[in-house]
Chain A
Amino acid sequence: MTPTSSYAIEARGLAKEFRGAGGTVRAVDGLDLAVRPGEVVAFLGPNGAGKTTTVDLVLGLAAPTSGTVRVFGKEPARAIADGQVAAVMQTGGLLRDITVGESVELTAALFGRTSPAGPFLERAGIADLADRPVGKCSGGQQQRLRFAMALVSEPDLLLLDEPTTGMDVRGRRDFWTAIRHDAEAGRTVVFATHYLQEAESYADRVVLISRGRLVADGTVAEVKALAGSGSLEDVFLDLTEEPATPAEGGTR
């Protein structure tokens, strides 16, 4: 009898290498991580630290070079098919020529639900945009649409990859209010970010990574205490380094 995992995410020795002309990049380098159900975790690290790659591995969009990752004790693909995990990706993933409402309705239909888009748009704060073509939405509005689409399967685990990049201050505040509000129902939320303030304000726990390795893990207070000054920024700068390869363009 193997007991089923009680973790939302459980990664063991997780590693991912990319081979290219310029040599091999170890984007994720032996990550051990366990996230309990209900936690709100900030996945913090500079550009190129391996945040997106880790998200891809947790979602089963990329296969690990070595190590394992389980989502609610299952293969990632299985957890997705069961509607237990959803994600707000950093870029792309939208059809520009359909409307906001159609995007959500299609997602619902693909999950075998006939639910109307309205309530999900409402929860993401874009109820008034239902008939707008996706291509005509601002970056922040598209981000909220990704959020609405992620809510459709009522996932137990929600992954957000730098969800507020490109949003203005108010947009960012509103977005997090919507996420917070939604997470109160007990959903596990893991968000990648390089905004320290977002990690500080919205996470129960901070996981700091640099060059694909975990360099700090704990509550915001615990991680802050790692630097004498007690500021998250100092910890961030002390513990993280420039990525192994020059981070081209930054957002990947």
Chain B
Amino acid sequence: MTAVSQPVAIRAYLRLELRRMLRDRRTVLFSLLVPPAVFLWAGTSAENRATEIAPGTNLTASLLVSVALYGALLTATSGGAGVAVERAQGWTRQLRLTPLAPWAYVQAKVLASMVLGAGSVLVTFAAGAFAGARMPVSAWVLCALAAWAGSLVFAAFGLLMGYLLPTDGVLKYLNLILTALAFAGGLFLPFSDGTPMAALSRVMPTFGLAELARAPLGGGSLEVVAVVNIVAWAAIFLAGAAWRFRTDTARV
């Protein structure tokens, strides 16, 4: 018997997963339609477009990056949470009767949601380009990359939350939690320095990623506290998800 190579199995799984996501109206809505719609609705007023926040960069651009990150986070989170949902349906047990390794399954799910997350960021940025966002060319590229890559942290968050929350309606809860986290972390409206909310926002898991994604707008500098925030939350989510995943052998 020849052993099946995991990359081949992962590719097959990835293809199916992408097809599933594009067929799912809810996923398409939240990943590809809601982010550009939110941006067009909230970020493109004449005042925002006229407000210069850095040389050649308007407030609309900053709001664009924030909303694009939000879309990428939503997509990555629901991708991660999908693992627990499918576990509850006995699907991960079924997969254990195939040569696909459990970690390869998680990898395929996360990869697929990252592909969709890239689509989400691109669609949102395209809306921004048409609706008056202005920033240097390098910022267009770097902000998109940072928002997209940073959302990987939230794939681990989704994986962990999927295990912790009841699987019925988990995606609905996660959308709410994520929106609350986005506001609390100053993703949409940064808090003014010195206020208690500003202090609190710095420990939110969305704070570091928001700073990272917007860093290319202000010339690329990133505060140490933001880096610490990202690394710490990534470590917490990964460790938590890995722990739940490893100890998970129960029949469902």
Contacts from A to B (Cβ < 8 Å): 52, 56, 59-63, 80-84, 86-87, 89, 91-98, 102, 106-107, 109-112, 149, 153, 252
Contact = CB atoms under 8 A, between A and B. Distances in A.
B137 interface: no
19 contacts: A52-B251, A56-B251, A59-B96, A60-B96, A62-B251, A80-B96, A80-B99, A81-B3, A92-B94, A97-B20, A97-B24, A102-B16, A106-B12, A106-B13, A109-B9, A109-B12, A110-B98, A112-B4, A112-B99
Nearest to A91: B90
B100 to A, nearest CB: 5
B47 interface: no
Interface in B55-111: 86, 89-91, 93-100
Contacts of A82: 1
Contact of A95 (B2, B4, B91): B91
B12 A110 contact: yes
A183 to B, nearest CB: 19
Contacts of A110: 4, 9, 12-13, 95, 98-100
A2 to B, nearest CB: 20
Contacts of A93: 89-91, 93-94
B5 interface: yes
A89 B94 contact: yes
B46 interface: no
Residue of A62, A93, A102 with highest tally of chain B CB at under 10 A: A93
B172 interface: no
B177 interface: no
B20 A98 contact: yes
Given A62-B249, A110-B9, A94 B97 contact: no
A56 B249 CA distance: 11
Contacts of A80: 96-99
A232 to B, nearest CB: 29
A112 B89 contact: no
Contacts of B224: none
B251 A111 contact: no
B97 A111 contact: no
Contact of A111 (B94, B98, B252): B98
Chain B CB within 10 A, most for which of A92, A95, A97, A252: A92
B98 to A, nearest CB: 4
B148 to A, nearest CB: 26
Given A87-B97, A102-B19, A110-B12, 16 more contacts: A61-B251, A62-B251, A80-B97, A84-B1, A93-B89, A93-B94, A94-B89, A94-B91, A97-B23, A97-B24, A98-B20, A110-B4, A110-B95, A112-B4, A112-B9, A149-B94
A191 B139 CA distance: 62
B8 interface: yes
B7 to A, nearest CB: 11
A84 B12 CA distance: 21
Contacts of B100: 110
A92 B90 contact: yes
A174 B90 CA distance: 26
Give the top 8 A-B pairs by smallest Cβ distance, nearest first: A92-B90, A109-B12, A93-B94, A112-B4, A82-B1, A110-B98, A93-B90, A110-B100
Contacts of B94: 89, 92-94, 149
